[in-house]
Chain A
Amino acid sequence: MKYVIIGNGVAAIGAVEGIRQTDRQNPITIIAAEPYATYGRPLIANLLRGKIHEADLAYRPETFYRDNKVTLLLGRTAEKIDVAARRALLEDGGKVPYDKLLIATGGKPFIPPIQGKDGPDVYTFTTLDDAGKLDALVGKIKQIVLIGGGLIGLKAAESLNDRGLKVTVVELADRILSTAFDQTAGNIIGNRLAEAGIEVITENSVKEIVRKNDRVKGIKLNDGQKRSCEAVVIAIGVIPDKDIVKGTGIATNRGIVVNDYLETSVAGIYAAGDVAEALDLLSGERRVVPIWPNAYTQGQYAGRNMAGARMAYKGGLPMNSIEFYGIPTMSMGMANPAGAGYEVITRLSPEKNVYRKLVLRDGILVGAMLIGEVERAGILTGLIRNRVKVSSFKEELMKDTLSLSSLPGEIRAERLSK
């Protein structure tokens, strides 16, 4: 039995750990285009900010690969899959045979068709090399524009602002952090970023990246406004990097479609992480939800199933935790529900940068958003995951003193007996 994993993201680590729970012997090969073993990808923002060093990025110790009998083929791009011959074909002509294959190629930056996007001085921010390129700009340029006011874009903005650049963020939606947060939360964070010196422009978009002699000189916005800058970072989000399945017959939709065992439509080939369209816990549908916890857990379940332990993935729960200039922010589940039928409870103390929001459906907690005050937030996450009816004690959950003692005796006793 030969296991092959394509990709060096956290789904690959989950898969190795999942395989090794059942199969301690058979060899695992990881093929990755990036020349690095798995690193804490979100940490590239911390690195760019100067808070950590490159040596701190490794997600597992060096011994991990040896101890788990993993061969690393790094800096080598898997280009195609020969399904009939069960081989991964590399760009450099290499052929890697497999019995079970995991596609964990992750996401690639989404680049909209903006005039002037092609050429020097336009960057993305999803890899360690991207962080290196932006780091090299520090001290050389003065002004930079970030397209995209989501988690990645804002973390990059924070880092570059701290490194002395004049930063402008342009977001198409009516607020920053629009995917996982609401207007109130977006305002709190937006104000904090503005205080720190970052210009945040919402409900607008970059119509053109203006160049002179090929070099970036500025941007033009849809409403006619202009900003001068010497570089642009496109950080709108990621889309599944599924090019490798072309011609294989593996079913895709937005991402690579997988069943409850993370297996694709072709037997023996699995997919996990940002490239996969896997079960979503709350909706019961298959969705691409490119977040770290889902990638690890899907990798883990894929690994277990590749090794023959038939275990169904329970579904991912969207969640994000991130801190902006000292304000912790969290969003779990359906924190920003669309449509009717939801009960929304909120508490806001703008002077303290504190906001708390719970979302219930039929009395069951389905989402939560916490800004500023995040202690014991996981108790809420647990209630969402277990679909607990909270209507009789919802007021307790709105307090910052939330604890297991806020829960009814029987739930608490069950938790404490674990």
Chain B
Amino acid sequence: MKKVYAREDVCIGCRLCEIACIVEHSISKDIIRAFKQEEKRPARNVVEECGPVSFSVHCRHCDEPPCVQVCISGAMVKDPRTGRVRNIPEKCVGCWSCVMACPYGVIKRDTNQGKVIKCDLCPDRDLPACVSACPNEALLYEER
């Protein structure tokens, strides 16, 4: 399946991917409204910086997702057709088991909602918003 891959050698640490993610998952999908009027949710990727190195980490949509195996409510599911791992917010109870299980650390707690939040590969788009927004081609959406 196609996933988002990061290239740490060309990432400039601008975090435009995070902004694009927040806007894409906002109600209005408008940057000004998303940041000024809506309750701001965390971005679904994680930009990490370590000295000169930076890179964006995205859900790996694992073949055997530990987050699905530990989920106590059935909120975390892997779609057998698309391979995508998604969280159904209506079913999530905020036990954080998936946060404990994900070896990439890419599942975030949205403590306002009491639910987790994670990359869904932007189901409404052909190219995920973070990849579109990256100015230096540090994010690739491809099948490997």
Question: Which chain A residues have a beta carbon within 8 Å of chain B's beta carbons?
Answer: 14, 40-43, 46, 51-52, 56, 58-60, 292-293, 296-297, 300, 319, 321-323, 328, 330, 332, 374-379, 381-382, 385, 402-406, 415-418
Contact A59 B103, CB 8 Å, known A330-B96, A375-B108, A375-B109: no
Number of interface residues, chain B, beta carbon within 8 A: 37
Question: Which chain B residues have a beta carbon within 8 Å of chain A's beta carbons?
Answer: 5-6, 8, 46, 48-50, 53, 55, 57, 60, 62, 66-67, 69-70, 72-74, 90-91, 93-105, 107-109
Chain A: minimal CB distance from B5 (Å):
7
Is there contact, CB below 8 Å, between A374 and B70? no
A-B contact pairs, 18 of them (CB 8 A): A42-B72, A293-B70, A296-B69, A296-B70, A375-B99, A375-B105, A376-B99, A377-B96, A377-B100, A378-B67, A378-B100, A378-B102, A378-B107, A381-B66, A382-B103, A404-B57, A416-B6, A416-B8
User: Chain B contacts of A56 at CB under 8 A?
Assistant: 73, 90-91
Given contacts A60-B74, A319-B101, A404-B55, 13 further A-B contacts (CB under 8 A): A40-B72, A46-B93, A292-B97, A296-B69, A322-B95, A328-B96, A377-B99, A378-B102, A381-B66, A381-B101, A403-B50, A417-B5, A418-B62
Is there contact, CB below 8 Å, between A293 and B60? no
User: Chain A contacts of B74 at CB under 8 A?
Assistant: 40, 58-60
User: Chain B contacts of A297 at CB under 8 A?
Assistant: 69
Is there contact, CB below 8 Å, between B73 and A43? yes
Chain B: minimal CB distance from A370 (Å):
8
C-alpha gap A406/B51 in the complex (Å) = 11
Q: Output the nearest chain B residue to A17 by Cβ-Cβ distance.
A: B80
Is there contact, CB below 8 Å, between A418 and B96? no
Is there contact, CB below 8 Å, between B69 and A300? yes
Contact A378 B66, CB 8 Å, known A330-B100, A416-B8: yes
Chain B: minimal CB distance from A332 (Å):
7
Q: Output the nearest chain A residue to B8 by Cβ-Cβ distance.
A: A416
User: Chain B contacts of A41 at CB under 8 A?
Assistant: 72
Chain A: minimal CB distance from B118 (Å):
12
User: Chain A contacts of B50 at CB under 8 A?
Assistant: 403, 405-406
Is there contact, CB below 8 Å, between A374 and B69? no
Is there contact, CB below 8 Å, between B101 and A378? yes
Is there contact, CB below 8 Å, between B100 and A321? yes
By CB atoms of chain A within 10 A, which of B67, B90, B97 has the most?
Answer: B97
User: Chain B contacts of A379 at CB under 8 A?
Assistant: 103-105
Is there contact, CB below 8 Å, between B100 and A51? no
User: Chain B contacts of A14 at CB under 8 A?
Assistant: 69
Chain A: minimal CB distance from B21 (Å):
17
Q: Which of A293, A300, A374, A382 contacts B99 (CB 8 A)?
A: A374
C-alpha gap A367/B109 in the complex (Å) = 22
C-alpha gap A274/B117 in the complex (Å) = 30
Chain B: minimal CB distance from A189 (Å):
15
User: Chain B contacts of A328 at CB under 8 A?
Assistant: 96, 109
C-alpha gap A59/B76 in the complex (Å) = 10
Q: Which of A59, A300, A374 contacts B100 (CB 8 A)?
A: A374
User: Chain B contacts of A381 at CB under 8 A?
Assistant: 66, 100-101, 103
Contact A405 B48, CB 8 Å, known A43-B72, A43-B93, A323-B96: yes
Q: Output the nearest chain A residue to B53 by Cβ-Cβ distance.
A: A405
C-alpha gap A404/B8 in the complex (Å) = 12
Q: Output the nearest chain A residue to B60 by Cβ-Cβ distance.
A: A418
C-alpha gap A382/B69 in the complex (Å) = 14
Q: Which of A293, A404, A417 contacts B97 (CB 8 A)?
A: A293
Contact A321 B73, CB 8 Å, known A375-B105, A375-B108, A416-B6: no
User: Chain A contacts of B46 at CB under 8 A?
Assistant: 376, 403
User: Chain A contacts of B104 at CB under 8 A?
Assistant: 378-379, 382, 404, 415
Q: Output the nearest chain B residue to A326 by Cβ-Cβ distance.
A: B111
Is there contact, CB below 8 Å, between A323 and B100? no
By CB atoms of chain A within 10 A, which of B46, B74, B109 has the most?
Answer: B74
C-alpha gap A85/B78 in the complex (Å) = 38
User: Chain B contacts of A330 at CB under 8 A?
Assistant: 96, 100
By CB atoms of chain A within 10 A, which of B100, B101, B104 has the most?
Answer: B100
Q: Which of B55, B70, B91, B94 contacts A323 (CB 8 A)?
A: B94
Is there contact, CB below 8 Å, between B105 and A416? no
Q: Which of B5, B8, B95 contacts A321 (CB 8 A)?
A: B95
C-alpha gap A144/B21 in the complex (Å) = 48
